[in-house]
Structure 1
């Protein structure tokens, strides 16, 4: 389920404050930081973004 566009506009990466991009895969929806140095991917569980740095996936 994609996130509301209005919500996505106000969300930012908690680590570097860059905007987030909705990258919804088949089974693992996530919000990915658009910052050049950061790039953390935050999970979305039950339609709720989990914006905790400890829960984020590091870029490959």
Structure 2
């Protein structure tokens, strides 16, 4: 799974969620991004939600069909 060492400073600064995670000292992971965005990981995670994640955090194997 992609983590913060794969995201450039420019990518982090361009995304308010990533920037907030970094400011708060949290790992820039897919799970933290989703929890920060939605409060928890939704049970019915779908393709349209996955597509909203930064490209480097997307994991299409987690999408329910």
Do these two structures clear the TM 0.5 threshold for a shared fold by scoring above it?
Answer: no
Question: RCO greater where, 1 or 2, for CA within 8 Å and sep 6 or more?
Answer: 2
Q: Which has the higher helix share?
A: 2
Tell me the TM-score normalized by structure 1. 0.29
Tell me the TM-score normalized by structure 2. 0.28
| Bigger Cα Rg | 2
